[in-house]
Each structure stands twice: as C-alpha cells, then as structure tokens.
C-alpha cells in the first residue's frame, strides 16, 4: 500500500506508511 501512496505522489514517513498500510491496505 505504501508503494501505491508513493506512486500517487504522497510523501510519507515510514510510520505514516505503516498507518496507511494498516488502515487502507
């Protein structure tokens, strides 16, 4: 999911990426 977020152009820290992965998959 974090890779998708990066593709979308969203800049995330590691902890934010983890939250995204757990929350949105």
pLDDT tens digits, 3-21: 776 666 666 677 777 887 8
What pLDDT is attached to residue 4?
Answer: 74
C-alpha span between 16 and 24 (Å, rounded): 12
User: What is the domain extent for residue 18?
Assistant: 1-25
pTM: 0.32
What pLDDT is attached to residue 25?
Answer: 56
What pLDDT is attached to residue 18?
Answer: 82
The 3-state secondary structure of the chain reads CHHHHHHCCCCCCHHHHHHHHHHHC
Domain count, the chain: 1
């Amino acid at each position: 999911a974090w890779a998708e977020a990066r593709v979308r152009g969203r800049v995330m820290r590691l902890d934010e990426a983890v939250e995204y992965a757990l929350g949105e998959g």
